[in-house]
């Protein structure tokens, strides 16, 4: 079940990435989420990011890590 879910998730992410626009004035949104459990310890981390294209294929942005 987990393997099927991950495969579908990667396919959806690939489709979204194919339709990306990198023209001046567009916004870039993204990030990572991680969840791990081991020996009774649970770790959750997230790092969202946002950017703004100042010209074609050049973006300025920021990333938060928590």
Domain-wise residue ranges, the chain = 22-66
The whole-number pLDDT of residue 1 equals 66
The whole-number pLDDT of residue 46 equals 92
Contact call for residues 29 and 13 (beta carbons, < 8 A): no
The whole-number pLDDT of residue 36 equals 92
Name residues of the chain where pLDDT drops below 50.
none
The whole-number pLDDT of residue 62 equals 94
- DSSP helix/strand/coil, 1: coil
The whole-number pLDDT of residue 16 equals 63
- DSSP helix/strand/coil, 8: helix
pTM for the structure as a whole: 0.55
């Amino acid at each position: 079940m987990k393997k099927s879910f991950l495969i579908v998730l990667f396919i959806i992410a690939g489709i979204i990435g194919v339709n990306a626009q990198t023209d001046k004035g567009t916004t870039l949104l993204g990030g990572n989420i991680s969840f791990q459990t081991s020996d009774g310890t649970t770790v959750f981390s997230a790092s969202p990011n946002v950017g703004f294209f100042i010209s074609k294929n050049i973006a300025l942005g920021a990333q938060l890590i928590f």
